[in-house]
A and B are shown apart, each in its own frame.
Chain A
């Protein structure tokens, strides 16, 4: 009995690794459903229109704003990897705090990003201070 248990357990672990399962499967689902249309499946973005999420310095520099951007979108000009992006992004108001945490972790741990993991409490706190967002890299800097 114990043998079978160990065997099936190791098989399960093997499968997770073999299938390239990432750490954040639910974040991956949210990403595919709500982000990938614009930021694309590989987080590459599109020219100077849609900023990349892959290898993005913005994720590190503006960590505390990310949850707010997901929920409420963005109307500011932002600087990502040295390139200026001015298109508006629509927010995704129907995502829960948990979903936002998951999707940020999925993005932050993929495509060359090494963003330390987000915890639900952190995301919740960020979301509560969304209105007092500093408008960084805005047009005033141009």
Chain B
């Protein structure tokens, strides 16, 4: 009898605390209400950067797709390799899914030239069509980091000269931020991969 009660309680607990995998991911960030009562969600502004193949990367690059974003620099002595390793797992997982892309911004705009980014991406054996490594005007990169809820700024006292977060951010087809994870944490990245799958299901209902 006791065993049965315990079992039942456990099931109840799992049901109550378990994530509701069918609910849509929230839209993150500040929101406003339009005069007509509609909610206006914060969205990613226009941007234009250059990738490892000297190709223009802007909002149109991700038209009709969802994408994951992070901020890094090549000579980063701290968290970047861990974030890259987890990013590579995401990349591998969705390698053949054209509905999903990745976008990495270099925050070391002085040193991480297009050629340097190219070399970096090649050494990771990355398909430039799938994962864009971009550089651009320093202020534009630092500015858009805010829109992705990420930290990116110069700090001579920080290792490597920059402060930055190891976050990976998920953006939907409507330029809304829908999820993020701590890119240095493998388990959190696993949860993030499931979030990507959820968002794909939500935004591409007709597909598989």
CB distance A46 to B78 under 8 Å? no
Choose among B75, B79, B81 the residue with the greatest number of A CB atoms under 10 Å from its CB. Answer: B81
Min CB–CB distance A38 → chain B (angstroms) = 5
CB distance B82 to A47 under 8 Å? no
Bound-state CA distance A55–B78 (Å) is 24
CB distance B124 to A48 under 8 Å? yes
CB distance A48 to B81 under 8 Å? no
Indicate which residue in A40, A48, A49 contacts B82 across the interface (CB closer than 8 Å). A40
Chain A, residue nearest B126 (CB): A47
Q: Does A44 contact B (CB under 8 A)?
A: yes
Contact with B along A26-65 (1 / 0, CB 8 A): 0000000000111110001011111000000000000000
Provided the pairs A44-B85, A46-B84, A46-B85 are in contact, do residues A37 and B123 lie with their beta carbons within 8 angstroms?
no
CB distance A37 to B79 under 8 Å? yes
Bound-state CA distance A50–B81 (Å) is 8
Question: Cβ of A36: which chain B residues have Cβ within 8 Å of it?
Answer: 82
Indicate which residue in A38, A44, A47, A90 contacts B125 across the interface (CB closer than 8 Å). A47
Bound-state CA distance A88–B74 (Å) is 11
Min CB–CB distance A86 → chain B (angstroms) = 9
Q: Does B178 contact A (CB under 8 A)?
A: no
Contact with A along B113-132 (1 / 0, CB 8 A): 00000001001110000000
Min CB–CB distance A77 → chain B (angstroms) = 13
Question: Cβ of B77: which chain A residues have Cβ within 8 Å of it?
Answer: 37-38, 90
Contact with A along B73-107 (1 / 0, CB 8 A): 00101110110110010000000000000000000
CB distance A47 to B78 under 8 Å? no
CB distance A49 to B85 under 8 Å? no
Indicate which residue in A38, A44, A47, A90 contacts B123 across the interface (CB closer than 8 Å). A47
Min CB–CB distance A74 → chain B (angstroms) = 13
Question: Cβ of A88: which chain B residues have Cβ within 8 Å of it?
Answer: 75
Bound-state CA distance A50–B125 (Å) is 13
CB distance A48 to B85 under 8 Å? no
CB distance A46 to B125 under 8 Å? no
CB distance B123 to A49 under 8 Å? yes
CB distance B81 to A40 under 8 Å? yes
Choose among B75, B85, B88 the residue with the greatest number of A CB atoms under 10 Å from its CB. Answer: B85
Question: Cβ of A46: which chain B residues have Cβ within 8 Å of it?
Answer: 81, 84-85, 88, 124
CB distance B120 to A49 under 8 Å? yes
Q: Beyond the given A37-B78, A46-B84, could you list 6 further A-B residue pairs with CB under 8 A, ordered by the A residue number?
A: A37-B77, A37-B82, A40-B85, A44-B85, A46-B81, A49-B81
Give the 4 A-B residue pairs with the shortest CB-CB distance, closest first: A47-B124, A48-B123, A38-B81, A49-B123
